[in-house]
Chain A
Amino acid sequence: MKRRVLYGGLAAGLMAVMAPFLPAYPLTVLTQALIAAMLAMSLDLLLGYTGLPSLGHAAYFGVGAYAVAILATERQVGFAGCLVAGIVVATVAAALFGVLAIRATGTYFLMITLALGMVVWGLAFRWVSLTKGDNGISGVPRPDLSLTWSLWGALPFFYFTLLGALIVWVFLTTLVASPFGLGLEGIRESESRMRALGYNVWLHKYLAFVISGTVAGFAGVFWAYYNGFVSPVDVQLVTSVEALLMVALGGPGTLVGPAVGAVIIVFLKNFVSVYTKRWLLILGAVYIGAILFAPRGLFGALGRGRR
C-alpha cells in the first residue's frame, strides 16, 4: 500500500518535472492520457474492486462532459458551476441507473449496463435540441481561473489535469483502503459470505456504482475542457469498452495498473493513427492479444495484483 503511494507520487512528480521540456504534441497526448486514466481508475473501483464489469461506463463520463459543454457554450457558466454541474449530473445518472443495474449479477449486469449506456448514447444522438445530435457541441471554452497562466496553453492545462488526476487517485486509493473498500473486495470474492457476515451487500455495490459514476463524470468535465468538443462518440459503446480494455490491460484491482493501461492505449492510439489508417485493426489485435497473453493485466501479471 505505502509502496504504491510512493510509486504513484513519484510518477506524478516525474511527469510534473518533465512536462516543461516536452514538445507540445506529446504534452497534449499526455494530458489526454491523464483524463483517460481518471476514467479507467473510476471503472477499476467497479470492475477491479467490486467485481462488477460495467459495459456502459462512458455514459457517466459523457454525461459530465455534455453538462459542461452545454452550460459553458449556451449559458456561459464559469468553471465552478460547470464542475459542480458535471459531477452532479453524472452522480444522478449513476444513482438512477444503479438501482436497475445492481439488481443483476454477472453477465446480466454487463448487458444491463450496456443497454443503459445505449440510452445515454441514444439521447445524445437523437435529442438534437439539447445535444445538437451527431454534430456534437463544439467551441467549449477553457475555464478562466483568473490565474497568471491561461489554461489555453498546453502546459498550464496539463498541470490542471495532473491535479485532477492526482485528486482522483488519492481519493480512490483512500477509498479502497477504507473499511468500505475492503468490504467491496470481500463482495468481489464472495457475496454470500459477506451477506452472512452482516454486510449490506446491495448498499455497498450501489455506493460503489454511484461513486464510480461520480468520478467518471469528474473525468468527463476535464474531457470537455480539453477537447473543446463533445459528441455522441464520447458516450458510445466503443468508448465504454475502451475503458474496460485500459483496466484489463493494466490489471484490475490495482488502480495504478488501469492508469498505466490508459496511458498506453492513448499513446498507442495517437501515434499509430499518425502512421496508418488501419488503427481499428491494430486496436482489435491489442484487445485479443491482451486477453491471450496478459489475462491478468500488466500489473496483475507482475504479481502485484489481487492474490
Chain B
Amino acid sequence: MSGEFWIAQSFNGISYGALLFLLASGLSLIFGVMRIVNLAHGSYFMLGGYIGLSVVWRTGSFATALVAGAVGVGLIGLGMERLFLRRLSGQTLGQVLMTIGFALIFQDLALLIWGGDPYTIPAPALLQGVVRTGTFSFPTYRIFIVLVAFVIGILLWLALEWTRAGAMIRAAVDDAEMARGVGVNVPVISLAVFALGACLAALGGVIGGAFLGVYPGADFEVLPYAFVVVIVGGLGSLPGAMVGSLLVGLLDNFGKALFPELSYFTLFAPMALILALRPTGLFGRV
C-alpha cells in the first residue's frame, strides 16, 4: 500500500468515473425531464460499442466509429421515445416494462448480429502507450477518456446554463407543467433530451469499447453503475452526475482493489448512506 498504489488507483477510478459520466449524464437528464427510468440505457452503451466496432473494422477510423455509434444509437433513441415511450408518460411501471422489453430485444439482436464473443475496439495509435511523469506512468487512453468527459461536461454545462434550449430543458426539469404553460414545447424537449442521452451513452460505449471491451451482457453490467451515479448525484442534475460519477468511479475502483469479495458492497453501502441522509441525492432538488 504505497503512495504509488493510491495514486494509480485514484487515477483509474477517475478515468472510470469519466466514462460513467458519459453514461449517466444522459440518464440523469432524461430522468429529470421525462421522469422515465430508462432500463435500456445500458443497451445504448452496448450498441454504441458494437456499432463502433463494426465501423472500426470497416474503415479503421476511430473518429468515424465515435460519430457513427453516437448518431446510430441517437436515432434508435429518437424512435423509441417518439413511437413508444411518449404514449406512456406518467406510467412508471409501464415505462419500466417497456424499456426492459427493448433492452432484451437489443441484447438478443446484438447476440444475433455480433455473436457471443468478446471484442476490443482497437484504439488509435496516438492514444496507445503511456504518459510518464516522474516515477508515475499513466495510460494515454485513460487520460483521453478524462479529457473527453471533461469537454463534454463543460459543453453540456454551457448549453444548459447559457442557451435558450438549455433554459427550456432546465424549466422542464423543474416543473414540466409550468414549462408547458409558459410556452415551452416539452414533447420536443423530451425527444431531444432522450436522443442526446442515447448519443452520450453510445459515445461512452465506443470509448469504453477500447478499454472495457464490447461483449454480450455489458448492457446490464454498466446499468446499475449509471443508476447509482444518478441516485447519488440527484436526478436531473448535471453537477450531480459529475460528482456522482467521480465518487462511484473511485469507490468502485478502491472497493475492487481492497475488498474484492465485497466490491459491490463498497459501492452500494455509501449510496445507501447518502440516501438515508439526503433522499433526493447530493444535488437533487425535488
Partner of B97, one of A122, A238, A245: A245
A182 contacts B by Cβ under 8 Å: no
Query: Which one of A145-153, A208-216, A282-290 is at the interface?
Result: A282-290
Query: A245-B97, A290-B97, A291-B98 given as contacts; is B265 within 8 A of A112 (CB)?
Result: no
Tell me, yes or no, whether A75 is within 8 Å of chain B by CB: no
**A103 with B276, Cβ < 8 A, contacts A114-B224, A286-B101 known:** yes
Question: Which of these binds chain A: B69-77, B149-157, B226-234?
Answer: B226-234
Known contacts A111-B37, A291-B94: A103-B101 contact under CB 8 Å: no
CB within 8 A of A122: which of B103, B104, B263, B271?
B263
Known contacts A107-B31, A127-B261: does B93 contact A244 (CB below 8 Å)? yes
From 109 to 147 in chain B, residues with beta carbon under 8 angstroms from any chain A beta carbon are 109, 111-112
Question: Assuming the A-B contacts A100-B272, A103-B276, A129-B261, are A244 and B97 also in contact, with contact meaning beta carbons closer than 8 angstroms in the complex?
Answer: yes
Q: Is the interface of B mostly helix, strand, loop or mixed?
A: helix
For A170, the chain B residues whose CB sits under 8 A away are: none
Which chain A residue shows the least CB distance to B84? A288
- A285 & B101 in contact (Cβ 8 Å cutoff): yes
Please indicate the chain B residues that have their CB under 8 angstroms from the CB of A104 in the complex.
275, 279
**What is the minimal beta-carbon distance from A232 to any residue of chain B, in angstroms?**
11
Interface string of B201-239 (1 = CB under 8 A from A): 000000000000000000010011001101100010000
Residues of chain A lying within 8 A (CB to CB) of residue B272: 100, 115-116
Residues of B within 8 A of A295 (CB): 91, 94
Q: In the assembled complex, which residues on chain A have CB atoms less than 8 Å from the CB atom of B263?
A: 122, 126
Give A201-241 as 1s and 0s: 1 = Cβ < 8 Å from B's Cβ atoms. Answer: 00000000000000000000000000000000000111001
- Residue of B93, B108, B279 ringed by the most chain A CB atoms within 10 A: B93
Q: A128 and B275: CB pair below 8 A?
A: no
Known: A122-B264, A126-B264, A128-B261. Is A287-B275 also a contact (CB below 8 A)?
no
Determine if A280 and B104 form an interchain contact, defined as CB atoms under 8 angstroms apart: yes
- Complex Cα–Cα for A278 and B257 (A): 38
Q: Bound state CA distance, A112 and B235, in angstroms?
A: 12
Q: Are B98 and A127 in contact (CB under 8 A)?
A: no
Contacts of B112 in A (CB 8 A): 278, 281
| 14 more CB-based (< 8 A) A-B contacts, given A107-B37, A244-B96 | A47-B93, A103-B279, A112-B231, A112-B275, A118-B227, A119-B269, A248-B94, A280-B108, A281-B105, A281-B112, A284-B100, A284-B101, A284-B103, A288-B102
